[in-house]
């Protein structure tokens, strides 16, 4: 915390859960302490890391809170909040980099809407510049910002008044490994709080995605999204990264694949034509705005290769993840 305090600048607690984040936490904290804002603290709740994260964190003037046992991101975030002193809580992840003016925009946003839970998202272009990382960052940026009000506020950039958070009971700790922000958002919305996204609040994410990591991430998120959506009875809802566009894209892929098999096995030109029509609808109508986001961010060549990945590769991981989610729900969660 540096500089002369401005009475209009509410105190902000930047809360970061960390588990074995040694490859990114240093850059995360360096970005945080490069902020132009003059009234903030940084709290890192370490979830029993087994790498050298703690040694890296101790190099920065932040508050390090070690958990007694490995308990997950929800417990880490709740612990960070309990040890905070700021009027505003700003949750980010250990692989996110805030910009110099991010906290200024956080303060401005909450001053304008003090009873709202406000979200930011990833910048379109991430910290790392490889293809799959950029693809993911643009996809998340578009998906989380396209709808107002949003269905949820992501914890990679969540702004909330401290008193509201503490009254809410915090993130549910006995929950799925991910999506605690979705459950939290839905719970607070049901009690009357407004959810809103602010396109000026951006963090640069460090993905380091390869094709394998990209598909593994898609599979994992799809699996738990499916479980949660079945529990919540909103499987067909347009919900951020679990968008209707993505769901249609996955259905289009598997339907087209089936029709092409019929074409090859039975010489059914009707099947071939129908598969083409489905993909034209998918690209030109349903997912048109996503492709525009790719084009605006990185130009035509990137959009071409992103389109191939999104239409012909990405749906495999998402679809298989959905099937795994249904199987897990039926075997583990149905009776809960």
pLDDT at 6 over 60: no
Q: Give the ranges where the chain is alpha helix by DSSP (H).
A: 25-32, 53-57, 73-82, 102-112, 131-145, 162-168, 180-190, 211-232, 244-266, 269-281, 288-312, 314-328
200 and 264 together in one domain:
no
Q: Please compute the mean of the pLDDT values over residues 94-107 and round it to a whole number.
A: 97
pLDDT at 2 over 60: no
Q: Please compute the mean of the pLDDT values over residues 329-334 and round it to a whole number.
A: 82
Q: Is residue 235 part of a domain?
A: no
| Structure confidence by residue, pLDDT tens digits, 189-234 | 999 999 999 999 999 999 999 999 999 999 999 999 999 999 999 9
Q: What is the pLDDT of residue 335?
A: 55
134 and 48 together in one domain:
yes
249 and 173 together in one domain:
no
Give the CATH number of the domain where residue 194 resides. 3.90.550.10
Q: Is residue 5 part of a domain?
A: no
Q: What is the pLDDT of residue 334?
A: 62
79 and 179 together in one domain:
yes
pLDDT at 156 over 60: yes
Tell which of 209, 233, 266 closes a domain: 209
| Structure confidence by residue, pLDDT tens digits, 161-198 | 999 999 999 999 999 999 999 999 999 999 999 999 99
Determine the structural domain holding residue 273 and report its residue range.
244-333
Q: What is the pLDDT of residue 8?
A: 85
149 and 255 together in one domain:
no
In angstroms, the CA 79 to CA 19 distance is: 14
In angstroms, the CA 208 to CA 132 distance is: 8
Average pLDDT value over all residues in the chain:
94
Q: What is the pLDDT of residue 258?
A: 94
In angstroms, the CA 76 to CA 71 distance is: 7
> How many residues can be counted in the chain?
336
| Structure confidence by residue, pLDDT tens digits, 251-305 | 999 999 999 999 888 878 889 999 999 999 999 999 999 999 999 999 999 999 9
CB 99 within 8 A of CB 32: no
In the Cβ-directed half-sphere of 195, how many Cα atoms lie within 13 Å? 28
Q: Is residue 64 part of a domain?
A: yes
192 and 281 together in one domain:
no
93 and 194 together in one domain:
yes
Q: What is the pTM of this model?
A: 0.93
Q: 77-81, 86-90, 270-274: which range is least confident on average?
A: 270-274
Q: Please compute the mean of the pLDDT values over residues 78-104 and round it to a whole number.
A: 97
Give the pair of three-digit tokens for residue 171: 């993130």
189 and 249 together in one domain:
no
Give the pair of three-digit tokens for residue 210: 């390869």
Q: Is residue 214 part of a domain?
A: no
Q: What is the pLDDT of residue 1?
A: 43
DSSP codes of every residue in 284-326: IIITHHHHHHHHHHHHHHHHHHHHHHHHHTHHHHHHHHHHHHH
Q: Please compute the mean of the pLDDT values over residues 25-37 and round it to a whole number.
A: 97
Q: What is the pLDDT of residue 173?
A: 95
Residue 24, helix vs strand vs coil:
coil
User: How many domains does the chain divide into?
Assistant: 2
Tokens 């995605």 locate to 209
């Amino acid at each position: 915390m540096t500089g002369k305090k401005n009475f209009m600048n509410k105190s902000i607690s930047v809360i970061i859960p960390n588990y074995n984040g040694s490859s990114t936490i240093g850059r995360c904290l360096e970005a945080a302490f490069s902020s132009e804002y003059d009234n903030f603290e940084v709290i890192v709740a370490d979830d029993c890391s087994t790498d050298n994260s703690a040694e890296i964190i101790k190099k920065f003037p932040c508050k390090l809170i070690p958990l007694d046992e490995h308990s997950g991101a929800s417990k880490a975030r709740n612990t960070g909040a309990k040890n905070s002193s700021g009027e505003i809580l700003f949750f980010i992840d250990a692989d996110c980099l805030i910009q110099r003016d991010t906290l200024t925009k956080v303060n401005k946003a909450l001053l304008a809407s003090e009873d709202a839970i406000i979200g930011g998202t990833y910048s379109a272009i991430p910290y790392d510049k490889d293809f799959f990382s950029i693809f993911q960052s643009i996809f998340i940026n578009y998906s989380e910002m396209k709808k107002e009000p949003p269905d949820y506020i992501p914890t990679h950039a969540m702004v909330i008044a401290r008193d509201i958070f503490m009254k809410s009971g915090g993130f549910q700790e006995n929950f799925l490994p991910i999506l605690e922000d979705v459950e939290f958002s839905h719970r607070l919305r049901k009690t009357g709080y407004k959810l809103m996204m602010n396109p000026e609040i951006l963090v640069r994410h460090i993905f380091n995605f390869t094709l394998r990591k990209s598909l593994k991430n898609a599979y994992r998120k799809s699996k738990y999204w499916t479980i949660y959506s079945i529990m919540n009875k909103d499987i067909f809802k347009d919900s951020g990264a679990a968008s209707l566009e993505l769901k249609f894209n996955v259905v289009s892929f598997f339907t087209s694949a089936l029709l092409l098999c019929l074409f090859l096995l039975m010489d059914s030109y009707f099947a071939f034509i129908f598969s083409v029509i489905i993909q034209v609808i998918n690209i030109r109508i349903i997912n048109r705005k996503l492709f525009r986001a790719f084009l605006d961010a990185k130009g035509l060549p990137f959009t071409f290769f992103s389109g191939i990945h999104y239409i012909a590769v990405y749906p495999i991981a998402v679809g298989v993840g959905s099937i795994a989610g249904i199987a897990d729900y039926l075997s583990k969660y149905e009776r809960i």
